[in-house]
Structure 1
Amino acid sequence: MFRASPQVEATQKPAIGADPVTAAPRRDLSPLRRLVPFLTPYRTAIAGAFLSLTVAAGTVLGLGAGLRALVDQGFAAGNPALLDKGLLVMLAVICILAASTYGRFYLVSWIGERVVADLRRAVFDHVVKLSPSFFESTRTGEVLSRLTTDTTVLQVVVGSTVSIALRNMLLLIGGSVMLLFTSAKLTGLVFLVVPLVVFPIVIFGRKVRKLSRESQDRIADVGSFVDEALGAIRTVQAYGHENAERRNFADRVEGAFDVAVQRVRTRAALTVIVIVLVFTAIGTILWVGGHDVLAGRLSAGDLSAFVFYAVVVAGSVGAISEVVGDLQRAAGATERLFDLMATEPEITAPANPAPLPVPVRGAVAFDAVRFHYPSRPDDAALDEFSLSVAPGETVALVGPSGAGKTTVFQLLLRFYDPRHGRVLLDGIDIRTADPAEVRARIGLVPQDPVIFSTSALDNIRYGRLDASDEEVRAAADAAHALEFLEQLPDGLNTYLGEKGVRLSGGQRQRVAIARAILRNPPVLLLDEATSALDAESERVVQEALERLMRNRTTLIIAHRLATVLNADRIAVMEQGKLVATGTHTDLIRQGGLYARLASLQFDRRDDDRAALALPDVAE
């Protein structure tokens, strides 16, 4: 696989929503407000966590007052009884602090886990509603990164960082008040240095936010690369590209590492600057306070309490400077997640969907349809395409690659809407109907069957989730899949592996056919459903398909013309247009594209038969 360098790919990333990947990073924490609806249901837990946090912070601040009394009334007055009492009070305070810390840690962590779980569900629920056109221009790995990496960042912030920030804010405010009551003069000196501390926090914080966003984007690159490489592992190994893929992966990992190191270096510099400024200020204030004690303007207990509160305030400022980076990363992650959730699906149910007729007839019609794929706006996939299929009729779509056969299926399933014209199901324009109702009447057997990483039983039941085990077995039997499924180690409960790797191509196809049989749809779409089968399997599966097709509307995409000879009609397509319709005999008589395709395939088959007969002639 040939790929651009990580640096080139970083500038060519597909957009999600309002292009959050390449957008300039925001400089505030306002995106975090979008989490409020996810926090609101857990008001009680939040209130309990805040109460525990307040008690813990108040307990710490109370230690300063106890220290003042201990120094002035215990040490200075030589009162041993007060020292004994001080020990008991300290033990009681420790118990209160431990209990409140436990409550804060448990409740905040629970809230973080719960909110992130809800957020992941909300994002996934939204993503699965997005139209296929979204995934034409967006890598799956990018979406996975937002569901995993970004939500993990939020989990850390909601379940820890916010608590730390609030606790230190309370300590900062409470400590500042206690400083003011202890010594207004020294407190004034303390707050002279506050701007010196805040300024680098703001400047470096913006840089951390930018680097954090870039780091998350590089991690998304890594995830996308892994998803693509492992998904094509057989191709990678077949072409001997293991070493090339290792080098490509290493480049992406190193790119992510370099950005992460820049972010860590910036945060470390921020922390160093804050520590130097804060503790230099504390040293200066101690020097001034010491002179006040010697001059009798301040008691030793007041200076001890002031130092304690100054350390608390300084520690709070330092902690806040550290969590600002985490909060900014969370703001970036929140922005990315909600940009994804703000992406509107192009295919939605109308406010008042038109009801489809009951009972179902299965009439399908395309009326002067013109359609362009979003990724190819200048190339019409269908051009003035009109075709009517009567209820119960079997129509085969034939034509060269790129003729628009698969597009017909995509529009009928309403994965896309045509630019012009209408697609009708039982006389109803499907744009006016609920897409779920339309798709519920259609069964699809694709050329490349989709097998989920679960059991055979669940794979077949995907056709109708409320089907019983007996109905699933009957569908498997009708698709001639029951025999080989029962031979698996756990029968139909056997895990089939990722993408069904434990089954052969023909077996996967028969599982997909069983799924369609179980669905029992009025309209059946077969995309060369027997192409992956050997001759014997094709014979038995063709029998199952013939039973399935009986009395239902069927559209067949056919590459091998021998599979559609018995179709009621054959629709010949070329460059998105319908160029001819009729039976095999009629189309051969008319000449044209179908006659040429038939001549190529059937003459080659005759040549193959002749070649196989040559040894007999030689004898």
Structure 2
Amino acid sequence: MLVGTIAAVAHGAALPLMTIIFGDMTNSFVSEGKDTKNMSTAAEGNITESLQEQMTTFSYYYTGLGGGALIAAYFQISCWTLAAGRQSKKIRQNFFHAVLRQDISWFDVSDAGQLNTRLSDDVSKINDGIGEQLAMLFQYAATFLTGFVIGFVKGWKLTLVVLAISPLMGLSAALWSKIMAAFTNQELEAYAKAGAVAEEVLAAIRTVIAFGGQNKEIERYEKNLEDAKNIGIKKAITSNVSIGFAFLTIYSAYGLAFWYGTTLVIHEAFSTGDILTVFFSVTFAAFSFGHAAPNIEAFSTARGAAYSVFQIIDNEPKIDSFSTVGHKPDKIKGDIEFRNVKFTYPSRPNVQVLKGLNFKIQSGQSVALVGSSGCGKSTTVQLIQRFYDPEEGSISIDGRDIRNLNTRYLRELIGVVSQEPVLFDTTIAENIRYGRDDVTMMEIEQATKQANAYNFIMELPDKFDTLVGERGTQLSGGQKQRIAIARALVRNPKILLLDEATSALDTESEAIVQAALDKVRTGRTTIIIAHRLSTIRNVDSIAGFNNGNITEQGSHNELMKRDGIYHKLVSMQAVEAAEDDDNENRNDGVPEDTPDLNHSGGKLVRRLSSRKSVGRTSEKQDTQQEEKDKEMSDEPPPISFFKILKLNKPEWLYFVVGVICAIINGGTRPAFAIIFSRIIGVFAGQEDEIRSRSNLFSLMFVALGGISFVTFFLQGFTFGKAGEILTKRLRLLTFKAMLRQEIGWFDDFKNSTGALTTRLASDASKVQGATGARLASLSQNIANMG
């Protein structure tokens, strides 16, 4: 960054330094021209030869200055681009690390779906603001400062007159920058909400398609895109109005400088070269100020994006899983005690879940928590993992308050198997390895044997290297559950938490998984949450929850005698089981070839179908790595630029107006050159003629500024609106296309939820760059060149 900054400053200073050479060269021409009058032919030849030598020297100066500028420009861009890339990588790493270290209460009140958008789109905007754009900003700042320094040295009076208008430029730039940052932040918030909707829908695509909710989700996504589009249009208008205002003040400064410079030539005998040096150096300084406006816009956009990103990075969680603070006992038995625990979820502050909970669990004991939904069972399990801290009371392990234990150490003592286990889109072995990083393959095999998973894994073609698909969709429910049990067992946990681990399984799978759970809970402190009460009759103790408290506790036989909550729940399930039996008896007359999913045979067919699915997945795995390699090596298919423009066909009128305004903007600088070419001739005339013509050209400069202000406004409005409409249209079309795909398409590793949401967030905005501001710049530069 230091080398890049020095190179940017040197590059920026080159242009004002050129004005000194230009001024000296002009003085040489003027003086030699005057000397040749009334001279003999021989003397004129000598002067011509001297002039040629001077011009040769000036040519060397120009060449050296150009070569230095070339080298400085290379280091300027390459160093800052490299630094920006590394900074973006660090920001992404820190952002992802900050998200992972947040406590669960933060996720309860934050929309997790926005995080992927922040990670991709927002960091890309930060990269734009701290890379090449920032290097150009340093370059233009150096040009600005160097130009005014040279102006003060060569003609301080003229420079002061021009400088008088500079505060207006500075204040307007600061105002526009603040407005731009505000609009950028609002735009990013709107796009983040849209990204959250997209991630939520794509992650639960099977449920959305099953219930036919595609149109509803498309409407929800479109609403957020509409908000982002409106803010984006306001942002584009603001940006171009600021640029137009900058050019208005710059051209007005030109007019003022030329008008006063003419006065100095007439009354104070300023040389033509010095006037031109001051004029051009101050002009380049002012021009650099105008050129810096787009870079200031990129910097402001980056600031707006960085606010949201660093707000998360700088957020200090109350419960930090990466913290090294806290006690780490050498030995843990596993005694757990709740003392007058009261708790309310941060997302529902008006509903108290636990109301003075008290109970103990002895080391090695298995305790089942039963009760109606919402009574506090799952909350109890989450508090043991220290996902939250209680408002009042304490939770202790072996007599130590868990708030005094190191959070990572505490969670390493605990193994968790939930109702819906989450598997990652990788191999079976890697999923089990998430339980403990340093686990060996032998330990993985031993854990799968304990979890009754080893046999079905070995039947797969790739065994432990079998890919499970996103969220484990290529495995049956029982297979996923047993892998989750093995993942918990590789930690060799002192405390095992089973949160309705078999409630979502069919009878066959439940029997296998339950046998595995009965085997692994031996010798461990085990807490079981169960709705199927038949699975917990053999536990050491059953605790009945009601309204945030334990109202009864004992064995199955003891609680059945008390006629309390547990007895009521058992009786209700007995009635439901009897009704199911009646339904089965009614189906006895059904022909044998009719499939009956209520019988174990039907369930067996379903399980076999799931396993067949695994087999199909395994067969594809030999080609998946080749597909990944091909994807990395293949170039994306070329898309015609006119095909992109065709998507903007309904906005053709905006493009016509925008192109006309861009052409006018491109023509203002050649017009400036024409006006300036007439300036040189002004100084050769009489005093009265010099004054009248200088007034005319000064007014022409102001007129150019007024034209630039209007055309930049119209250019920004038309291209900005067309570009934002295209972005919305592209994202909406892409989202619709995703939702009409078959489920098998989402099983492809290239179409994971993260990949698709990133595509929605970044690709559409990149396509917009080809038709919005970029097309405006292209039209403007073509007109300028023409």
Fold match by TM threshold 0.5: yes
Larger relative CO (CA 8 A, sep 6+): 1 or 2?
2
Cα distance in 2 for partners of 1:135, 1:381 equals 18
The answer on 1:66 being equivalent to 2:45 is: no
User: Deviations along 1:134-162, whole A, 9 cap, x unmatched?
Assistant: 11111113344443333333222221333
How does 1:103-142 map onto structure 2 within 5 Å?
A: 103-142=75-114
Cα distance in 2 for partners of 1:66, 1:487 equals 83
User: Deviations along 1:553-583, whole A, 9 cap, x unmatched?
Assistant: 1111010011111111111111111111122
Q: Secondary structure at the match of 1:65?
A: helix
Cα distance in 2 for partners of 1:165, 1:49 equals 12
**Stretch of structure 1 that moved more, 194-203 or 359-368:** 194-203
The answer on 1:322 being equivalent to 2:260 is: no
State the match for 1:152 in structure 2.
Answer: 124
The answer on 1:353 being equivalent to 2:326 is: yes
Cα distance in 1 for partners of 2:586, 2:320 equals 60
Cα distance in 1 for partners of 2:299, 2:483 equals 49
Give how far 1:281 is off. 2.3
Letter in 2 for 1:433: L
State the match for 1:402 in structure 2.
Answer: 374
The answer on 1:309 being equivalent to 2:281 is: yes
State the match for 1:463 in structure 2.
Answer: 435
The answer on 1:203 being equivalent to 2:166 is: no
Identical positions, percent:
31
State the match for 1:431 in structure 2.
Answer: 403
The answer on 1:55 being equivalent to 2:16 is: no
Cα distance in 2 for partners of 1:187, 1:279 equals 15
State the match for 1:481 in structure 2.
Answer: 453
Distance 1:418 1:284, change over 3 A: closer
Give how far 1:414 is off. 0.9
Q: Secondary structure at the match of 1:423?
A: strand
Letter in 2 for 1:494: T
Q: Secondary structure at the match of 2:422?
A: coil
Q: Secondary structure at the match of 1:572?
A: strand
Letter in 2 for 1:82: Q
Question: Does structure 2 conserve the Cα–Cα contact (< 8 Å) formed by 1:348 and 1:434?
Answer: no
State the match for 2:392 in structure 1.
Answer: 420
User: Deviations along 1:154-191, whole A, 9 cap, x unmatched?
Assistant: 22222133322222222111100111222233213211
The answer on 1:599 being equivalent to 2:554 is: no
Cα distance in 1 for partners of 2:138, 2:25 equals 29
Question: Does structure 1 conserve the Cα–Cα contact (< 8 Å) formed by 2:8 and 2:136?
Answer: no
Give how far 1:604 is off. 2.8
Cα distance in 1 for partners of 2:522, 2:14 equals 79
Instruction: State TM-score, norm by structure 1.
Output: 0.86
**Stretch of structure 1 that moved more, 479-488 or 417-426:** 479-488
How does 1:186-335 map onto structure 2 within 5 Å?
A: 186-289=158-261, 297-335=269-307
Letter in 2 for 1:178: I
Question: Does structure 2 conserve the Cα–Cα contact (< 8 Å) formed by 1:123 and 1:147?
Answer: yes
- Give the paired residue count: 573
Distance 1:320 1:583, change over 3 A: same
Which structure has the larger Rg?
2
User: Deviations along 1:32-90, whole A, 9 cap, x unmatched?
Assistant: xxxxxxxxxxxxxx321222123222333321122123222257534223333433432
Question: Does structure 2 conserve the Cα–Cα contact (< 8 Å) formed by 1:397 and 1:571?
Answer: yes
The runs of 5 or more residues in structure 1 that have no matched partner are 1-45
Please, which of 569, 581, 586 is the counterpart of residue 541 of structure 2?
Answer: 569
Q: Secondary structure at the match of 2:113?
A: helix
Letter in 2 for 1:58: A
Question: Does structure 1 conserve the Cα–Cα contact (< 8 Å) formed by 2:451 and 2:520?
Answer: no
Distance 1:351 1:246, change over 3 A: closer
Q: Secondary structure at the match of 1:128?
A: helix
Cα distance in 2 for partners of 1:519, 1:584 equals 30
Cα distance in 2 for partners of 1:590, 1:494 equals 50
The answer on 1:472 being equivalent to 2:454 is: no
Distance 1:251 1:91, change over 3 A: same
Question: Does structure 1 conserve the Cα–Cα contact (< 8 Å) formed by 2:503 and 2:530?
Answer: no
Distance 1:277 1:359, change over 3 A: closer
Q: Secondary structure at the match of 1:519?
A: coil
Letter in 2 for 1:473: E
State the match for 1:493 in structure 2.
Answer: 465
Distance 1:573 1:154, change over 3 A: same
Instruction: State TM-score, norm by structure 2.
Output: 0.69
State the match for 2:424 in structure 1.
Answer: 452
Question: Does structure 2 conserve the Cα–Cα contact (< 8 Å) formed by 1:74 and 1:80?
Answer: no
**Stretch of structure 1 that moved more, 248-257 or 481-490:** 481-490
Letter in 1 for 2:192: A
Distance 1:346 1:295, change over 3 A: closer
**Stretch of structure 1 that moved more, 243-252 or 334-343:** 334-343
Give how far 1:487 is off. 5.0
The answer on 1:181 being equivalent to 2:145 is: no
Distance 1:501 1:614, change over 3 A: closer
Please, which of 508, 513, 518 is the counterpart of residue 546 of structure 1?
Answer: 518
Question: Does structure 2 conserve the Cα–Cα contact (< 8 Å) formed by 1:74 and 1:82?
Answer: no
Letter in 1 for 2:226: E
Cα distance in 2 for partners of 1:612, 1:449 equals 31
Cα distance in 1 for partners of 2:500, 2:392 equals 28
- Pick the structure with more helix per residue: 2
